[in-house]
Amino acid sequence: KKHTGKNWISLAGRFSFRVQSIVIAFNTLHASNVSGCLFQPCDKLTHSLCPPSYWVRWPAPCRQGKTNINSDSSVFLLKKYKLHVRFVSEQQFRLDYEPLLRTLSCDTEQQFTEVLNEILQEVDRRRRFSATSAERSAVIKDIYQPLHPQLYCLQESYLAPKFKKIIEYCQRSDASQQGLLDLLEEEAAPRVYRFPVFERGFCEQLMEELENFEQSSAPKGRPNTMNHYGILLNELGFDEGFFTPLREQYLRPLTSLLYPDWGGRCLDSHKAFVVKYDMNEDLDLSYHYDNAEVTLNVSLGKDFTDGNLYFGDIRQIPLCETECVEVEHRMTEGLLHRGQHMHGALPISSGQRWNLIIWMRASQERNKLCPMCDRKPTLVEGMGFADGFTKHSDASTLVSCVLT
């Protein structure tokens, strides 16, 4: 099927600098292997849609996550230089990046030391993340009064009718990938699918809730180093009543048919957050891959101009062989893609853009090879779903990865 996104080859040299610097960066760190994608039936958790009561925000966590402690092989974003780098040791980092950083005007020893310090601080932040996140969740639970408590529990009425129709099809015993593709109508970029997810009223209320939270005195954890104004939805208590049933009952039937080769049949945890772009805050998001097997990105609004997404290829393909496709994102609609499919967001030129991002993970895939560091993960206990790894000896225990 022909994709509907705009191909960058045909666009004016608007993005040439950006692509150039990314090409250099990724050629430098291009040493990764494609993970083998085998699947076995996963141990399914059963969640049913819960009643619209406020308590569902805070049931006991049903699984414990694990983290990969291979922090000596991590990927970092140097925002100032718009560059993702891999840091193993100072020596490796100097060898791999000193010449490149010089071309990006990081050309004194002092500037280089600042970069090193920034990375070391980030290593420390990632090591402490699980504990600080748990502390924040406890305080939020104590002091934050939700504006729309009913939102914390998934209701069928929040979902777009077309989305429910698609999922109904996926749940049929005779459902096939081709049948689903016919129903989806649109492939925005190769293996990137667009479809309505929520009703407009739900998107508006969710943004009101999150604005209310931002204005409150509750502590805020940011989703990752790429985005300074996002909100981690698990810390607010959205996981159990909202995102777990959404993933298990609605999204997994869909990803099972679309991405069986990327763990789509056994997505067993997620990280859900909102990213926000504003003229006075973050404007764009540089080219990256997600710490996820499959990602759903839903546009919540508000009014904005520009800020399109762009997709390249999966990260194992060298950038010099990559053709980028620009994809429009429309309020209430979702873009579903492979986490390892490289992408970014172009700058908005007015207004405010909010997106709901669900990074979905398949422990069976990532236990074999961490999608961020390309190694077999070394695991430590984490809170909640953590980074979606599990200990083989104990499938009910999830573990996390310091690379997010």
CA 367 to chain CA centroid, Å, is 18
Beta carbons within 10 angstroms of residue 331's beta carbon:
18
Q: Which is nearer to Fe ion, 67 or 295 (CB)?
A: 295
Instruction: Report in angstroms how near the CB of residue 229 gets to ligand AKG at its nearest.
Output: 11
Instruction: Report in angstroms how near the CB of residue 297 gets to ligand AKG at its nearest.
Output: 5
| Per-residue binder mask for ligand AKG (CB under 6 A), 271-310, x = binder | ----x---------x----x------x-----------x-
| Residue 355 interacting entry, from Fe ion, ligand AKG, none, C-beta within 5 to 8 Å by type | ligand AKG
Q: Are 364 and 264 in contact (CB under 8 A)?
A: no
DSSP readout, 344-396? EEPPEEEEEEEEEEEEEE-HHHHTTS-TTTSSPPPEEE-STTBTSEEETTEEE
| Per-residue binder mask for ligand AKG (CB under 6 A), 59-88, x = binder | ------------------------------
**Closest alpha carbon to 165 in 151, 190, 182:** 182
Q: Which is nearer to ligand AKG, 248 or 290 (CB)?
A: 290
Instruction: Report in angstroms how near the CB of residue 70 gets to Fe ion at its nearest.
Output: 21
Q: Are 284 and 228 in contact (CB under 8 A)?
A: no
In the structure encoding, which two tokens stand for residue 101, read together? 């950083």
Q: What residues are paired with 338 via a beta bridge?
A: 294
Q: Which is nearer to Fe ion, 290 or 387 (CB)?
A: 290
- Per DSSP bridges, beta strands 285-288 and 341-345 are antiparallel
Instruction: Report in angstroms how near the CB of residue 152 gets to Fe ion at its nearest.
Output: 24
Q: Which is nearer to Fe ion, 290 or 313 (CB)?
A: 290
Helix then strand count (H, E) for the chain reads 10, 19
Distance CA 79, CA 286 (A): 8
Instruction: Report in angstroms how near the CB of residue 153 gets to Fe ion at its nearest.
Output: 27
Phi-psi region of 386 (alpha: psi -120 to 50; beta: other; left: phi over 0): left
Beta carbons within 10 angstroms of residue 71's beta carbon:
19
Q: Which is nearer to ligand AKG, 275 or 319 (CB)?
A: 275
Work out whether the CA dihedral 335, 337, 343, 344 comes out positive or negative: positive
Distance CA 190, CA 192 (A): 5
Q: Are 256 and 294 in contact (CB under 8 A)?
A: no
Instruction: Report in angstroms how near the CB of residue 104 gets to ligand AKG at its nearest.
Output: 23
Instruction: Report in angstroms how near the CB of residue 274 gets to Fe ion at its nearest.
Output: 13
Report the site for ligand AKG in 141-170 (rule: CB under 6 A). Answer: none
Q: Which is nearer to Fe ion, 290 or 293 (CB)?
A: 290
Q: Which is nearer to ligand AKG, 236 or 345 (CB)?
A: 345
| Per-residue binder mask for Fe ion (CB under 5 A), 254-293, x = binder | ------------------------------------x---
Q: Which is nearer to Fe ion, 202 or 287 (CB)?
A: 287
Q: Does residue 234 touch ligand AKG according to CB under 6 A?
A: no
Q: What residues are paired with 78 via a beta bridge?
A: 83
Q: Which is nearer to ligand AKG, 343 or 366 (CB)?
A: 343
CA 122 to chain CA centroid, Å, is 18
| Residue 309 interacting entry, from Fe ion, ligand AKG, none, C-beta within 5 to 8 Å by type | ligand AKG
Report the site for ligand AKG in 370-399 (rule: CB under 6 A). Answer: none
User: In sequence order, what are the residues at sequence separation of 6 or more whose Cβ sits closer than 8 angstroms to the Cβ of residue 259?
Assistant: 191, 293, 294, 338
Q: Which of 355, 364, 378, 390 binds ligand AKG (CB under 6 A)?
A: 355
| Residue 57 interacting entry, from Fe ion, ligand AKG, none, C-beta within 5 to 8 Å by type | none
In the structure encoding, which two tokens stand for residue 396, read together? 């009910």
Report the site for ligand AKG in 315-354 (rule: CB under 6 A). Answer: 343, 345
Q: Which is nearer to ligand AKG, 256 or 297 (CB)?
A: 297
Distance CA 336, CA 81 (A): 29
Closest residue to ligand AKG: CB criterion: 345
Distance CA 374, CA 381 (A): 20
Q: Which of 106, 357, 386, 401 binds ligand AKG (CB under 6 A)?
A: 357
The residues that touch ligand AKG, with contacts defined as CB under 6 A, are: 275, 285, 290, 297, 309, 343, 345, 355, 357
The residues that touch Fe ion, with contacts defined as CB under 5 A, are: 290
